Each structure stands twice: as structure tokens, then as C-alpha cells.
Structure 1
Amino acid sequence: MCGIVGLFAKTPKYEGRLGTLLAGMLETMSERGPDSAGFAVYSGGDDGMLKLTVRPADAEPLPAFAETYAPRRCGSHAVLTVPLDESETVIAALNEAGAAVVGIGKRMELYKGIGLPAAVAEEFDLSRMTGTHGLGHTRMATESAVTTDGAHPFNTGPDLCLVHNGSLSNHASLRRRLRSEGIAFQTDNDSEVAAGYLTWCLNRGMSLKQALDRALEDLDGFFTFVVGTESGFGVLRDAIACKPAVMAETGDLIAFGSEYRALAGLPGIDTARVWEPEPATVYFWERAA
């Protein structure tokens, strides 16, 4: 049992409050996942640059070379903005130094840690963050150890991240297939395989909607996904849809929660269209760049 939340700003009206709203939603899902939590927020970005969200090795500072990129510290993580043509070299050097690169994207920053969702949100000052969309996850680990690496979201390609409630039955065979085609994984978590699968689809020119449609054919098990890309936000439940889910839409916001109470504090919720997403149905929104 885990908790998922997601928020997509259809207009600029609530971009300045995105972090505050997402933090409240995340904390509300604490009972569904008290052992660890994480979130991703999509904000500004610069052409030709990538933002790397980095978690240094335990009790270690960032490698000295990282200071070249004027890292912005945020709790136990740091964000480096690097030229696109230097990114592979920088990522390899960070990995060699034992630092975990947890998020890569032009606009996306990704943070996660062990502890109650409210504590994780406070460590990274989520309530002060702004952006166009974001998603979060509260974890109750049932199939793997409670670690920061195992916490969601998972990022397997630039600006692509995913949170998942459920369990995939064919993740081991799919992981082997995706590795053979160049998708790298950092954990044994089945949710990271789902993210890697969507990255594989996007790398082949599919839209997020097309990738989610295809996931219904290739992923076995039970799942609810909330997915973010640089400009898009998607939701998908499997054909059985045994995991709880609720959505709401106003003129300014699209919101997802594992339970309605995650949405209850949002502006305009009293007049929002509220519904349970249908099984095996892709929901997708996108904003112009």
C-alpha cells in the first residue's frame, strides 16, 4: 500500500503555489506510506542545459569538480546545471565518486528520502517550490528494503519520472530486455522498470500518451501510474484497477490522489469535476512549451 499524488497547472494561476499544494497532498497520504517519500517538480529550464539532482555519498561532500557547476544545495541533495554536451561526462564522474544522480532533466528536479512524508517535504523545502506540474509518492515497502534509492519517483530518462502503486509480475524479464537496449537501472524496484519502459518508448518517438497505451499491452500486474514529462502529465490504471484512485479538474488544475482526502484542500475543489479514472484508460494533459 502506497500513496500517490499529482498536480498539473493548466494555467499559470497556481504555479507559484504548486509546491505548497503538493506538500499538503503528500502529507495527507502519510498513512498509506510512512517509511519514505519523494517528489518531482517541473519548473524553469535553459536551452542546452540539464539539471542534475544529486545525492552525495553518505556523510560525504559533493566531489570537488562539481563546484564548477555552482551547485544549489537543497537538504541532503544538490542541483547542478550543466551544459548538455558535458552531461554524460559529469554523470559518469559523479557515479565514480559515489554520488547518486537521482534526477536528470531540463526542467525537472527530483528529491526523495527516508522518513515521514511531511519530514521529507520539509527537508527539501517543497512548500517554497514553484512550477507547472509535480508528482509525489509515499511508500510502504512490502517487497524491498526501506532505502532512499528504493523510494519513488523514478527517473530513467531526461524529464521522465514515474510514481507507482501496485506490483508488476513481469518486471524481471522486462528489465533484462530493456537493459539489452540501453536502458540503465539503479535498483531492483519494479516501478523503476515501468519508468524505464516508458523512457524506451519515448526514445522511439512515441508521445507519452502512446507510450502509456502500449504499456497496457506489455506490462503485466496491477498498477496505477502517474507520470511526468517536460510538458506532460499522465495517469494510467491497469485493466483490473484494484488500486484506489481519484481525480479532480478545475479550470486551472488537474489533480490526482490515491484517496479523495489528498485533494480536499485544493483551491476550487468544491466545484471541481471529480471522478474515478477508468481502468485501462490513458488520461493525458500537456502544456505548450
Structure 2
Amino acid sequence: MCGIVGLFLKDSSLEPQLGSLLADMLETMTGRGPDSAGFAVYGSGGAGRLKLTVRGQALDSVAADIGGDVRGEVRDTHLVLSIPATEEAHVREWLASHRPDLRIIGAGERIELYKEVGLPADVARRFGLEKMSGTHGIGHTRMATESAVTTDGAHPFSTGADQCLVHNGSLSNHRSLRRMLEPKGIAFATDNDSEVAAGYLSWKLQEGATLATALQDSLSDLDGFFTFVIGTESGFAVLRDPISCKPAVMAETDQYVAFGSEYRALVGLPGIEKARVFEPEPARVYVWERN
């Protein structure tokens, strides 16, 4: 049992409030996942630059040690590096060679990804989620029922540029999928089945599929029960398996689209009393993208 939240803003005037709204939603899902939490926020990006979210310790000097036009912002146990897009391979090689203790957990033009062990409210506070702005974000509260309580096991998982996924459920064929995906260049850092789902979508997108068709294909290729909320640079998607035994509720207004594992995660959103509230249908792909 885990909790999922997501918020996609249609109204740019709400962008400064994205973090505070998402933080409230995440904390409300504590009862569904008190052992660890994480979130991804799609904020501003710079022309010709990429962000790498790095997790580890002793982060203060990393940007200066890499040198060149590399900037860094430390948030607790995470570091967001802003680098020239042309230097991505060099920076990754430097980190692997000089700081193998650090782990890159997210990369892209706009995505920043944070996760840790602890109560959702504490995790959000440690990384300053309440003060973050952006166009959309997703979050997850974890109750580890099949693996240890570790930061590695916390969601979201990101296996492609500006892509991330949170998952409530369990996949039964993730090992065979992993064996299929690894020779195709999809790398995995954990044994979590949710990371395999993220990797599957990354592979489909690299092969030229749209997000909608990739998710549609996953209904036949992924075996198990699942609710996915996916973030990309331009949008936000939701998919439930054909059985849909995991709870899910959505709300849509002229200002936003929101997802919660339970309705109580949505009650603090502005104008919720006038929202179209609905349960996403089984095996139906929902996608919203920025204009």
C-alpha cells in the first residue's frame, strides 16, 4: 500500500504555489506510506543547459571540483547540478571517476527529483518542497511490503531525460522485462519493479513511441497490478491496469488536473468544490500536456 499524488497546472498564475500544494497532498498520504517519500518537480530550465540531480554526502564542493560552467545547489542529501548540455557526458564521466559514491537519480532540462527515508512531511521539509515552483509535479509515499526501507527503494524513478514514474502495485514479470531491456541500453540502479516500469517507458519513447502509445503498449507487456503517474518535460499521465484494484481519484478544473490515491489528498486544492471529480477508468490512458 503506497500513496501517489500528482498536480499538473493549466493556469500559470498557480506555478509559484506548486510546491506548497504538492507538499500538502504528499503529507496527507502519510497513512498510505510512512517509511519513505519522494517527489519530482518540473520547474524552470535554462537554454542549452541540463539539470542533474545527484544524491549522496559531502556535496558542497562538487560543482567547483568539476569546474567549468557547472553550478550546484545543495538541498540536504541531494545536489542539483546545472551544466551545459554539451558537457553531460563529461560530467557523468567525472562523477563516475572522482565521486563513485554519488548517484545520479534524475536528469533533464527541467526535472528535479528528491527522495529519502522518513515521514513524507519531514522529507518535503528537508528539501524545501513548499517553496518550489513549476508547472507540474508528482509524489509518492511508500510502505515497503516487498523490500527493505531504503532511499534506493523510494519513488519516483527516472530512467530517461525529464521522465519519471511513481507506482502503486506490484509487477510479476519485472525480472524478465529487465533482462530484455538491459541489452537495449536501459540501465537500472535498484531491484525495484517500479524502476523497471520506468525503464520500459523510456525504451518505448526512445523507439519513437508517444507517451500515450507507450502506456497503451504497457497494458499488454507489463504483468501485474498497477497505478502509474508519469511526469515528462511537457506533461503528466495516468494509467491503471485493467483490474484497477488500487484506489485512485482525479480532479480537473480550468486551473489544474490533480491525482490522489484518495480524495482527501485533493481537498486542499483551490476550487476543489467546483472540480470535476472522477475515478480514472481501468486500462485507459490519460495524458495532459503543456500548450
User: TM over 0.5, yes or no?
Assistant: yes
Between the aligned partners of 1:91 and 1:131, the Cα distance in structure 2 is 26
Structure 2 residue 163 is the aligned partner of structure 1 residue 160: yes
Structure 2 residue 87 is the aligned partner of structure 1 residue 90: no
Instruction: Give the gaps of 5 or more residues in structure 2.
Output: none
Between the aligned partners of 2:45 and 2:111, the Cα distance in structure 1 is 8
1:47 paired residue number: 47
Between the aligned partners of 1:273 and 1:5, the Cα distance in structure 2 is 17
1:22 paired residue number: 22
Between the aligned partners of 2:113 and 2:59, the Cα distance in structure 1 is 20
What's the CA shift for 1:61?
5.3
1:33 paired residue number: 33
Tell me the amino acid that sits aligned with residue 85 of structure 1.
T
2:271 paired residue number: 268
Instruction: Give the gaps of 5 or more residues in structure 1.
Output: none
1:251 paired residue number: 254
Between the aligned partners of 1:10 and 1:67, the Cα distance in structure 2 is 38
1:215 paired residue number: 218
Between the aligned partners of 2:79 and 2:124, the Cα distance in structure 1 is 15
Between the aligned partners of 1:146 and 1:255, the Cα distance in structure 2 is 28
Tell me the amino acid that sits aligned with residue 109 of structure 1.
E
CA-atom RMSD in angstroms = 1.2
Residues 12, 262 of structure 1: alpha-carbon distance in 2 compared, 3 angstrom cutoff: same
Query: Which of residues 208, 212, 228 is equivalent to 2:231?
Result: 228
2:113 paired residue number: 110
SS at match of 1:71: strand
1:185 paired residue number: 188
Contact 1:164 1:223 in 2 (8 A): yes
Between the aligned partners of 1:132 and 1:46, the Cα distance in structure 2 is 15
Contact 1:62 1:99 in 2 (8 A): no
What's the CA shift for 1:19?
0.3
Contact 1:150 1:189 in 2 (8 A): yes
Tell me the amino acid that sits aligned with residue 146 of structure 2.
E
1:78 paired residue number: 79
Between the aligned partners of 1:154 and 1:175, the Cα distance in structure 2 is 15
Contact 1:4 1:136 in 2 (8 A): yes
Tell me the amino acid that sits aligned with residue 172 of structure 1.
R
Between the aligned partners of 2:182 and 2:65, the Cα distance in structure 1 is 30
SS at match of 2:238: strand
Between the aligned partners of 1:133 and 1:92, the Cα distance in structure 2 is 30
Range with greater deviation from structure 2 (272-281 or 67-76): 67-76
Tell me the amino acid that sits aligned with residue 254 of structure 2.
G
2:12 paired residue number: 12
Contact 1:235 1:284 in 2 (8 A): yes
* CA distances 1:124-182 after superposition (whole Å, capped 9, x unpaired): 00000000000000001111111111100000010000000000010000011110100
Between the aligned partners of 2:269 and 2:51, the Cα distance in structure 1 is 29
Contact 2:60 2:74 in 1 (8 A): no
Give me the TM-score of the superposition, normalised by structure 1: 0.96
How many residues end up aligned between the 2 structures?
287
Contact 2:164 2:231 in 1 (8 A): yes
Between the aligned partners of 2:203 and 2:61, the Cα distance in structure 1 is 30
Tell me the amino acid that sits aligned with residue 27 of structure 1.
E
